[in-house]
Structure 1
Amino acid sequence: MPAITEKGTTYYLEDISVGMAAEYTREVTGDLIQSFADASGDDNPLHLDEDYAKTTMFKGRIAHGMLSGSFLSTIFGTIFPGPGGIYLGQNLKFVAPVRIGDVVTARAEVDEVLADKGRVHFTCTCTVGGKNVIVGDAWIMPPRRGK
């Protein structure tokens, strides 16, 4: 089953089954990192100052981990389940850095549907060039038909 990638459709709880997945891909740019720093208030020089970042274990600037993590929020709020879904919780583990110019693919795949509780569990990853940079999971409450 191909991953859902189009924004704007609402998938109701009744439409969701184990194995369904969605993806969102975005290139990380210096401007995007700066915008995220401005919005979040996280102005750690590791993300914004190349001279400083060169002195760290990363040997250069890296994106905020939560910037890539926010691409999962893009999936849940706009792609799958889409508008009307409620983000209940997320666990993320940052396993590799994301750098300027990297193309991040966020993926969320349904691994459990709790229809009686109105909740769906997702396995989540963000990858760059096929390598995991984030692994985790999330609970989402999709909308129900007629409610």
Structure 2
Amino acid sequence: MFDTPPNDNLPRGTICIEDLEVGMMRYLRKQVTDRDIELFAEVSTDHNPVHMDDDYAQDTIFEGRIAHGMLTAGLISAVIGEQLPGHGTVYMGQTLKFLAPVRPGDTVEAQVKVLTIDHAKRRVTLDCRCLVGDTVVLKGEALVLAPSRKFD
């Protein structure tokens, strides 16, 4: 559904609803580090040993530590809040399906694509996904209230 984007992250900022078009896409890439996992555990208070303890995680279905699913989902939030639509966007809802684990050291590409636009209500539906290489690890849809020049 997504075209392969170029290798660089796209610029940050705001795309007002008046300038949005169905099919627009933005993304970011981030390598998930041990520090990211530790910080997410601290902030969320989720210290599940599948994320924190190598020995424990080795005996799980994942056969090793994995990043928190919501840490990965947070990368989608970063694309929405910083790029598409960007600054001033308000989240109204998000669906998520976690399809594969993200491990420390993996580079995640979070992609967001405009599916529908309701100009009268300033609502935008976004197709969201995260990939590690060619593997889709997370997918879902977001509904957001997009910024508008009329309210500046």
What amino acid sits opposite 2:52 in the alignment? L
What amino acid sits opposite 1:5 in the alignment? L
Match of 1:21?
A: 25
Task: Answer yes or no: is 1:64 the counterpart of 2:68.
Answer: yes
Extract unaligned runs of 5+ from structure 1. Answer: none
Give me the whole-angstrom Cα distance separating, in 2, the residues matched to 1:140 and 1:112: 11
Where does 1:95-114 land on structure 2 (aligned, <5 Å)? Answer: 95-114=99-118
Aligned length: 146
* 1:146 Cα deviation after fit: 2.5
Extract unaligned runs of 5+ from structure 2. Answer: none
The partner residue of 1:38 within 35, 38, 42 is 42
Match of 2:137?
A: 133
Root-mean-square deviation (Å)? 1.4
SS in 2 for 1:57: coil
Calculate percent identity across the aligned residue pairs. Answer: 43
Match of 2:90?
A: 86
* 1:6 Cα deviation after fit: 1.2
Give me the whole-angstrom Cα distance separating, in 1, the residues matched to 2:10 and 2:141: 19
Give me the whole-angstrom Cα distance separating, in 1, the residues matched to 2:115 and 2:83: 17
Give me the whole-angstrom Cα distance separating, in 2, the residues matched to 1:23 and 1:89: 19
